Amino acid sequence: MPPRKRAGQAALPGMPTMADLRDTLWKAADKLRGSMDAAQYKDFVLGLVFLKYVSDAFEERREQIRQEVLDQGIAESRVEVFLNDIDEYAGHGVFWVPDEARWLYLAERAKGGRIGELLDAAMDAVMKLNDPLKGVLPKIFNRDNVDQRRLGELVDLITDARFTGHGDRPARDVLGEVYEYFLEKFARAEGKRGGEFYTPGSVVELLVEVLEPYSGRVYDPCCGSGGMFVQAEKFVLNHRGRRDDIAVYGQEANERTWRLAKMNLAIHGIGGDLGPKWEDTFYADKHPDVKADYVLANPPFNMSDWHRKVDDKRWHYGVPPAGNANFAWLQHIVSKLGERGAAGVVLANGSMSSKQSGEGEIRAAMVEADLITCMIALPPQLFRTTPIPACLWFFAKDKGPQGAKKLADRRGDVLFIDARNMGTMVDRTERKLMPEDIKKIAGAYHAWRGTASARVENLNYEDEAGFCYSATQDEIRQHDHVLSPGRYVGAAEVDTSDDEPIANKIERLKKELYGHFDESSRLEQEVRTWLERLDV
Amino acid sequence: MSEWTMLRLGDAITVKHGYAFKGEYFSDVGPGGLLVTPGNFAIGGGFQIGKAKYYDGPMPDGFILDPGAIVVTMTDLSKGGDTLGYSAKVPNDGRIYLHNQRIGLTQIVRPDLVDRNFLYYSLQTPLYRSHVLAGATGSTVRHTSPSRIYDYVLRLPGLDIQRMIAAILGIIDEKIAVNEQVARTAFGLASAMYRRYSEERSSWRAIRLADTARWYSGGTPTTSEPLYWGGATPWISAASLKSSWIDHSERRITALGAVNGTRLVPAGTVIFVVRGSSLKDEFRIGITQREVAFGQDCKALLPVEGVSADVLFHAIKSRSAQILEMVDETSIGAGRLATELIQELPVMLPSSTEDRVVDELRMLNRLAAARQGESRLMLSLRDALLPRLMSGEIRVRDAEREVENAL
């Protein structure tokens, strides 16, 4: 970073911290609230934040180019040529921002009453010049229901937010973080529907730490805002990999969410293929030929209203019921796995034990096909937006040693992990898996699978009562192909009454109740007889 | 006619003190045996499982209580001496119960004179109680002693009649117990069914609690105004909201009280506690079975159109753990549940009241409520009969003749 700039910023009283920045932006979001619902103003705010980012990143790169060129001894008068060379930007993952879309230009005109029109034009201009953004940015600022005065104020507020100048962090990382923060905040504000585009960070992290997507094709059939990809990329970068070690494929049915995902990927510099437009994965698979090395997914839980084709060739293990898409997602995902592909899926707990409408048979068939590597029961309240408890399914096409990888031969085995008592309440309504929880769970998996990372850390697998258990297919058969980890890991010290599959529990309570009824009628009769004999 | 005679308890039984178990080995969760404490005695007599306290440490032999053993409280912490001296039977549920120091274990030395079940009920009569209370020592914490209990003089018939009287009372107690089991199992079944449907039915949706009902706050009519109190309408507070099926309270208001400082809600309202010390470890919630009034420490939710109270009740109840985590501590150490917080809680509900589960849950809830009501009647019956049977004031027709014929 050029010293001039640093000096200039240090002179500013109260350099913005990350928290200040988030705060400012969240306040900005609130400005427009009132006239719109959460889902709508999300598009507004995230669109503007994105534009501000694109513009900041552009200015930052521009300054860098100037410095680089001058450092190479090129004359000041020639600098302009480099500054206007679009490749100097694209090569660094920075979008070209034409004059009329630069934030400074827009900020100066925030108060004129025409800001909505200018913003729409700016979005248009950016999209025209940058192919990856085609059709992605929202052009919704010049509508009747948008209060232009408030919109101007919002632009002012965002003007004060600086994505550059946070130590050595490039604008991209800062905005990436802010963007994720916003997605999370908006998901909460939208309640249950919000959960569709956002999976809690600690859950995604766990999926990634188990799957370890070092390189290859990463696919998410219901990618929401693209959180899985961002986390996968972080994993790669944390392990000294490069951004392009993984190739990203995704699909998303909701138009707005699809746009969010495109922007999210752009911000993180991930060149992914999310299809030419939004589309329902069941209706039209946009990546029919992709054989993924890793699938990461958090499908909507218990989706009842889904496009079901009975003779779909994806239903290799049985036709999923019309009223619930859980097993449709699972089978779709399995059908996408390459020869040595692996998948991790977040799903509602019911999927582990349900026997309705043929779901039990599909699950049994998947167990018998030896596709499942690991089942993890998650603690409650990880998802602020739904009280439904969730679990993780892990699949692998090849559970053997996989040649040079020298994995443990796990054919016929399934690892069960009961993490229901893990995690820490971060506030009074939401729980998070902490880094040590994720380490413990992923560690157990790697030890069991005998992966390279387990060898590095010298981990050896052992069953641990109440936490993990490696079961054979035979044991699973004995449990009627029910996959709830609580049934396998043995008694934990705490209350295990909920381990009982709900259907069994209902049957047992019914019988108990009938028993009480019989006893009750017998006693009723006796009481009657005795009372008749009292001389009162 | 068999003779009723007088017996000084000390001539037929002994009462043995328990062991002073060491506090350092106590825990709330186990492992170890369960300590029987004065908290295990119900008002009116009988065993109640309250807050369990476990002991896992060294102890001498002879302090494990046999199932069915008759124990009495020797100390009472309550103001009115509500339970002092009362008897209870150690449950036969496979758990180990330990004979703690404040508990007296009765043993019959003259089984030819007194039947053990008759003794059990004798130690629950008002006469016996007033004898014990009159001789109690201590002002804030009241104690009694074996010798005080020995001094009680009992009127008793022959052994056969004793057994018969004990049998009648025993049957009533059993019926009350089985009613409780029915109510508890019905509740358990309803919760399990709710859980199953909420997890598996895709047509169910999450709704903010705020949007499921109209929310009402309660109040207390001036307690010094006698015209407000002693009427027919139960007035529910944190203290009286002990059961999920709200139909009763020790405190009742009049029609005049109802329009002065409190609020009436109809049957089918969900009421829960939002303030008080109970919130520290328990979330009390119930459905009203009749019109009731309620105090400021509760909130009442009258479900909106399309929401069933019977399902809403289970929806909220199923989230008790989360709700308890929202509880603040007030400056005086009591619990407080902020309305803004709990209103944001999402609960899973069926998309329409047409759902079959609504009827199923309603039926189970009604069953539990009906059994509770029946038990309350049985309990009053038992309390009315007990002293009169024990004194011979009420006799069992034909019983004495039968006994004589058998001789």
- Total residue count of chain B as it appears in this document: 407
CB–CB of A429 and B341 under 8 A? Answer: yes
Of the candidates B342, B353, B320, B344, the one whose C-alpha atom is nearest the C-alpha of residue A194 is: B344
Contacts of A304 in chain B (CB under 8 A): 202-203
ipTM comes to 0.78
Out of A381, A428, A519, name the one closest to residue B178 (CB): A519
Q: Could B178 and A534 be called an inter-chain contact, meaning their C-beta atoms sit closer than 8 Å?
A: no
When mean pLDDT is compared over A239-248, A419-428, B44-53, B161-170, the highest value belongs to B161-170
What lies within 8 Å, CB to CB, of A330 at 6+ separation is A345, A347, A351, A362, A366, A393, A395
- pLDDT tens figures, A290-343: 999 999 999 988 887 888 888 888 999 999 998 889 999 999 999 999 999 999
CA A193/CA B76 separation, integer angstroms: 55
* Nearest CB neighbour to A527, from listed B175, B189, B201: B175
Residue with the two structure tokens 């909420």: B198
| pLDDT computed for residue A198 by the predictor | 72
Cα–Cα distance for residue pair B329/A485, rounded to 1 Å: 36
Tokens for A149?
């005065």
- Cross-chain residue pair B185–A502, CB shorter than 8 Å: no
Mean pLDDT of B177-202: 89
Give the mean pLDDT of chain B. 88
- The verdict on B56 touching A (C-beta cutoff 8 Å) is no
- Asked if A506 is an interface residue toward chain B (Cβ–Cβ < 8 A), one would say yes
CA A142 to mean position of chain CA atoms: 32
Q: Which of A386, A388, A535 sits opposite B397 (nearest CB)?
A: A535
pLDDT at site A534: 81
What distance, in Å, lies between the first and last C-alpha atoms of chain A?
Answer: 100
Three-state SS for chain B is CCCCEEEEHHHCEEEEECECCCHHHEECCCCCEEEECHHHECCCCCECCCCCCEECCCCCCCCEECCCCEEEECEECCCCCCCCCCEEECCCCCCCEEEECCEEEEEECCCCCCCHHHHHHHCCCHHHHHHHHHCCECCCCEECCHHHHHCCEEEECCHHHHHHHHHHHHHHHHHHHHHHHHHHHHHHHHHHHHHHHHHHCCCCEEEEHHHCEEEEECCCCCCCCHHHEEEEEEEECCCCCCCCEECCCCCEECHHHHCCCCEEECCCCEEEECEEHHHHCCCCEEEECCCEEECCCEEEEEECCCCCHHHHHHHHHCCHHHHHHCCEECCCCCEECCHHHHHCCEEEECCCCCCHHHHHHHHHHHHHHHHHHHHHHHHHHHHHHHHHHHHCCCEECCHHHHHHHHC
The Cα–Cα gap between A343 and B8 comes to 79
pLDDT at A144: 79
Q: Is B396 on the interface with A (CB under 8 A)?
A: yes
Those residues of chain A that have pLDDT short of 50 are 1-15, 492-497
Closest approach of chain B CAs to the CA of A195, in angstroms?
A: 11
Distance from the Cα of B298 to chain A's closest Cα (Å) equals 21
pLDDT of B44 over the 80 cut: no
- Report the alpha-carbon distance of residue B86 to residue B43 in Å, rounded: 8
Report the C-alpha gap between A199 and A184 in whole angstroms: 8
Mean pLDDT of B279-292: 92
Q: Which residue has the higher pLDDT, A145 or B116?
A: B116
Residues 174-233, chain B: which have Cβ within 8 Å of A?
A: 174-175, 178-179, 181-182, 185-186, 188-189, 192-193, 195-196, 198-203, 205-206, 208
- Contact assignment for A428 to B189 by CB distance below 8 Å: no
**Residue contact B182–A520, C-beta within 8 A:** yes
Q: Over 90: is that where the pLDDT of B253 sits?
A: yes
CB contact under 8 A, A536 and B319: no
Residue A508's closest chain B neighbor by CA? Answer: B189
**How high is the mean pLDDT of chain A?**
84
Report the pLDDT averaged over residues B10-32. Answer: 87
Chain B residue with minimum CA distance to A348: B199
Kindly give the pairing relationship between strand B70-73 and strand B87-89: antiparallel
Residue of B nearest to A517 (CA): B182
Measured between beta carbons, which residues in chain A are less than 8 angstroms from residue B181?
Answer: 512, 516
Closest Cβ–Cβ partner in A388, A513, A530 for B182? A513
For the segment B332-352, what is each residue's pLDDT rounded down to a tens digit?
A: 667 888 888 899 888 999 987
Rounded to whole angstroms, the Cα distance separating B86 from B121 reads 9
- Pairing relationship of beta strands B97-99 and B33-36 according to DSSP bridges: parallel
- A381 to B322: CB separation less than 8 angstroms, yes or no: yes
Size of interface A-B (CB pairs under 8 A): 115
Q: How far apart are CA A320 and CA A307, in angstroms?
A: 11
Q: Do A428 and B179 touch (CB under 8 A)?
A: no
pLDDT for A191 = 58
Tokens of B30: 């186990």
Which residue among A324, A505, A513 sits closest to B202, beta carbon to beta carbon? A324
The chain B residue lying nearest A518, using CA atoms, is B178
Pairing of the two strands A216-220 and A246-250: parallel
The yes-or-no verdict on residue B15 having pLDDT over 60 is yes
Q: How many Å apart are CA A259 and CA A267, to the nearest integer?
A: 12
- Are the Cβ atoms of B206 and A192 closer than 8 angstroms? yes
Largest CA distance in chain A: 121
Contact of B252 with chain A, judged by CB distance below 8 Å, is answered with no
CB-CB neighbors (< 8 A) of A520 in chain B:
175, 178-179, 182
Pick the residue from chain B with its C-alpha nearest to A324. B202
Q: What is the pLDDT of residue A431?
A: 84
Q: If we measure between CA atoms, which residue out of B194, B185, B361, B196 comes closest to residue A503? A: B196
Contacts of A323 in chain B (CB under 8 A): 202-203
A303 touching B (Cβ < 8 Å): yes
From the centroid of its chain, how far is CA B106?
A: 24
**Beta-strand relationship, B213-217 and B298-303:** antiparallel
Residue of B nearest to A189 (CA): B344
For B174, which of A385, A523, A534 is closest by C-beta distance? A523
Residue A483's pLDDT is 93
Give residue B7's pLDDT: 93
Give the span between the Cα atoms of B362 and B356, in whole angstroms: 10
Return the residue of A nearest to B374 by Cα.
Answer: A524
**8 Å CB contact between B64 and B97:** yes
Residues in chain B with CB shorter than 8 Å from the CB of A192 are 205-206, 346
With a pLDDT cut of 90, the percent of chain B lying above it is 50
Cβ contacts of B188 on chain A, cutoff 8 Å: 509
pLDDT on residue A16: 57
Please judge whether B394 and A534 are an interchain contact, meaning their C-beta atoms are less than 8 angstroms apart.
Answer: yes
